[in-house]
Amino acid sequence: MTRPSAHDECQFCVFATFHTEHGAVLERSVPMHTGLAEQELAEQMIPDGMHDLDEDWTVLIRPVAHLALPQMPLRPDHVQSKLPHSHGLESGDCIYILSLARTIRCEDEPRGAHLVAMAIGTMHPHLSIFKPVLVLALDAYIATRDASVIEQLYDAVNTLHWQHLPCLSYSEKMRMRSDSVLHALYHNSSVLMQVHSALYVDHTASYTRQKKRHSSSGLVRRTRARYAISPPQHAGPQPHLYATCMQFGTTCIPVHIPLHLFPEEIGEYSLSTLFATFGHAKLLSETQHPHLHSNGIHTHPMTLLYNALVTHKRVLFVAYNAPAKVVVDHVLAACAFASGCGAVLRGFVASAIPYATLVNVDALTRQRGFIVGTKHPRLEELGLWDVLCHCEARTITVSSSTSPPQPFPPLLGTRDPARRSLRHALRSMPEWMLGDERPHAPDVLFMQRLTSALKQHASEPFLRYWCQVYVRDFVALATRHEQTFYGMSLFQPTIHLSHDTHDMYLLRCHALRIEGWRGTPSYRSFLWDMSHLYGQVSRATASFCLAHNGSGSTLSVHSPAPSTHR
Radius of gyration of the chain (CA): 24
Report whether pLDDT(554) > 60. no
Report whether pLDDT(195) > 70. no
Any idea how long the chain is?
Answer: 566
What is the reported pLDDT for 197? 61
Report whether pLDDT(468) > 50. yes
CA dihedral 215, 217, 222, 224 (to 10 degrees): 140
Mapped onto helix, strand or coil, the DSSP state of residue 289 is coil
Q: Please tell me which residue, 506 or 243, carries the higher pLDDT value.
A: 243
Query: Mean pLDDT over residues 112-134, rounded?
Result: 92
What is the reported pLDDT for 25? 92
- What band does 216 get if pLDDT is binned at 50, 70 and 90? very low
pLDDT per residue over 386-398, tens digit each?
Answer: 999 999 999 999 9
Report whether pLDDT(492) > 50. yes
What is the reported pLDDT for 459? 87
Residue 73: left if φ>0, alpha if ψ -120 to 50, beta else—which one?
beta
Distance between CA 166 and CA 185 in Å, rounded?
27
Mean pLDDT for the chain?
79
Q: Please tell me which residue, 438 or 117, carries the higher pLDDT value.
A: 117
What is the reported pLDDT for 556? 33
Nearest to 436 by CA among 445, 425, 428, 448: 445
- What band does 265 get if pLDDT is binned at 50, 70 and 90? very high
CB atoms within 10 A of CB 78: 20
pLDDT per residue over 342-362, tens digit each?
Answer: 999 999 999 999 999 999 999
pTM above 0.95, yes or no: no
What is the reported pLDDT for 217? 34
Q: Are strands 314-318 and 370-374 parallel, antiparallel or unpaired?
A: parallel
Query: Mean pLDDT over residues 308-337, rounded?
Result: 97
Residues near 343 by beta carbon (within 8 Å), at least 6 away in sequence: 82, 170, 173, 174, 177, 262, 468
Strand partners, 97: 60, 121
What is the reported pLDDT for 93? 83
Report the range of poorest mean pLDDT among 73-82, 284-293, 546-555. Answer: 546-555
- What band does 425 get if pLDDT is binned at 50, 70 and 90? low
Report the range of poorest mean pLDDT among 139-153, 182-196, 471-485. Answer: 182-196
- What band does 430 get if pLDDT is binned at 50, 70 and 90? low
